[in-house]
Amino acid sequence: MKNIAFKVTAVLVMAAASLGTACAAGMAEINTCYQRAGDDAEKLQVCLTQEFNAVKAEYKDTSERVTVVAKAWDKPNRNRVRWDKLMRANQSFDSYVKRECEFVRSTTRGSQTVEKNASLACQINLYRMRTDLLENRYLSTAKQ
């Protein structure tokens, strides 16, 4: 069991290191986009879309790494209890994000661009929150 945990931890650390470098470069580009956009809602939408794509990719990567951990925890018992619960939690979270951000969009007053920007910002914040939760709860080296 310790050997499996060590291997999983090693793979996760290597993946996180390579992702961290890519994320830092991508965020610098996104920050530059926001600076150039100023208060222009259409230009902001381009930046928000870029940031959403980056955050969603990071969430997907983190979710996949937690899946590896859940499978490792299930392996000694030869079942998929933890994996199944994680999959259900992720599906429920995705549904929550969709519904919550549709609500935010519907309560935002302005043009369609402003409403879409509010929805994108909502999604960015929620996916960032979930990614942080998954990383801190299941992928931190203290837990391994």
- The pLDDT of residue 76 is 96
All residues at 6 or more sequence positions from 72 whose CB lies less than 8 Å from its CB, including other chains? 4, 5, 8
- The pLDDT of residue 57 is 97
State the residue for tokens 């990567």: 61
**Tens of pLDDT, residues 57-111:** 999 999 999 999 999 999 999 999 999 999 999 999 999 999 999 999 999 998 9
- For residues 30 and 25, what is the distance between their CA atoms, to the nearest angstrom? 9
Average pLDDT, the chain: 86
Res. 11 pLDDT band, cuts 50 70 90: very low
- The pLDDT of residue 9 is 35
Q: What is the domain partition of the chain in residue ranges?
A: 2-139
Residue type, 13: V
- The pLDDT of residue 2 is 39
Position 14 pLDDT exceeds 70 = no
Q: Which of 81, 13, 95, 90 is nearest to 59 (CA)?
A: 90
More confident residue, 141 or 102: 102
Q: CB neighbours (10 Å) of residue 62?
A: 23
Q: Which of 139, 101, 144, 143 is nearest to 119 (CA)?
A: 101
All residues at 6 or more sequence positions from 60 whose CB lies less than 8 Å from its CB, including other chains? none
- Return the top range by mean pLDDT from 2-6, 12-16, 25-29, 63-67: 63-67
